[in-house]
Amino acid sequence: MYRLVKPVFFKFDPERMHHFVVKRLKWFHDFFPLGKKILRKSYHLHSKELEREVFGLKFKNPVGLAAGFDKNGEFVEALSNLGFGFIEVGTVTPLPQPGNDKPRMFRLKEDEAIINRMGFNNKGVDVMAERLRLLKCKHSDIVVGGNIGKNKNTPNEEAVNDYIKCFDRLFDVVDYFVVNVSSPNTPGLRALQEKEPLMHILNTLQLRNNKEGVSRPILLKIAPDLTFEQLDDIVEIVNQTKIAGVIATNTTIDRNGLYAADGLKRETGGLSGKPLTKKSTEVIRYISKKSGGKFPIIGVGGIHTPQDAKEKLEAGASLVQLYTGFIYEGPGLIKRICKALY
């Protein structure tokens, strides 16, 4: 079915089409009498063999949705009924912000890739927190991750305060947190990946990571463009701060080897999709080997086939996430991956 509608979808602006599709999915799920049953029957694959326990959380399967697809936590229930084992929402910031100027998302069809420079466009953490509170009242079994960032106008010296605000506000309504300091679309953000500021942010959050005896796993999302020396620092930082693990990787600023027209290749922003497949897997393998497998890794970047997912798991990932592959291959990809894993 998706193969039939995909050419139509791809004729229109990708950001507008994204909103069009997810809103119709939510309508079909929420208001069509048999919507939920149809989605579950079509896309769910239930098996004990697919279940995973990672950083203290139980996942129905190891295939999740990466942050950026549902920035405001609007579509979690509908997306979970497409077969995802977990949903990561955000990136969310303390205050609402519009993001960068449009157009800010571009398809590179020849490369099965996307360039985006969204810029953390979202409605703010208060809106997300209320939505997730209502969701958790109905569906406490859906594993939800909260991907948190800083507002564009917040200086890096004060960035920790933005992460604290998001952390505190979402603590009761998410199952794990992701600290995003690796998006290339907020000016200066990647500087927070340097050892000193990153240690400060993570240690500060860890000090707050206890509420009536409950703590949340905190993960760090890293860029695929780090040097081996920087990856060594990441491993050391994770061990020293005792956070739960790493998500590898975010989008890349590398444009080598692309087939798309020069005009598209010159668009600024983060590149995702097939060109990132090997690069993100190499980062996973390096971190897993360097750390001795002491902490979990969520693998993301260029997963378009079940084999791509298996390679990331074999490289050392405990779970995987989809984004661009989900757009290019459709929701059936989740089920195909799950079938290949047992």
Q: Catalytic positions, please?
A: 183
Whether residue 315 contacts residue 299, with contact meaning beta carbons closer than 8 Å, is answered with yes
List 179's β-bridge partners, or say none: 148, 220
Helix (H, G, I), strand (E, B) or coil at 216: coil
Q: Which amino acid is at 19?
A: H
- Give the ranges where the chain is alpha helix by DSSP (H): 2-9, 14-31, 35-43, 76-80, 125-138, 159-170, 195-208, 228-241, 262-265, 277-291, 306-315, 324-329, 332-340
Backbone dihedral region of 212: left (phi > 0), alpha (psi from -120 to 50 degrees) or beta?
left
Computed over its alpha carbons, how large is the radius of gyration of the chain? 19
Q: Which of 179, 84, 91 is nearest to 128 (CA)?
A: 91
* Strand 86-92, strand 144-148: pairing: parallel
Who's near 302: CB < 8 A, 6+ residues apart?
Answer: 272, 273, 274, 275, 276, 277, 278, 279, 280, 308, 324, 325
The answer to whether the beta carbons of residues 39 and 33 sit under 8 Å apart is no
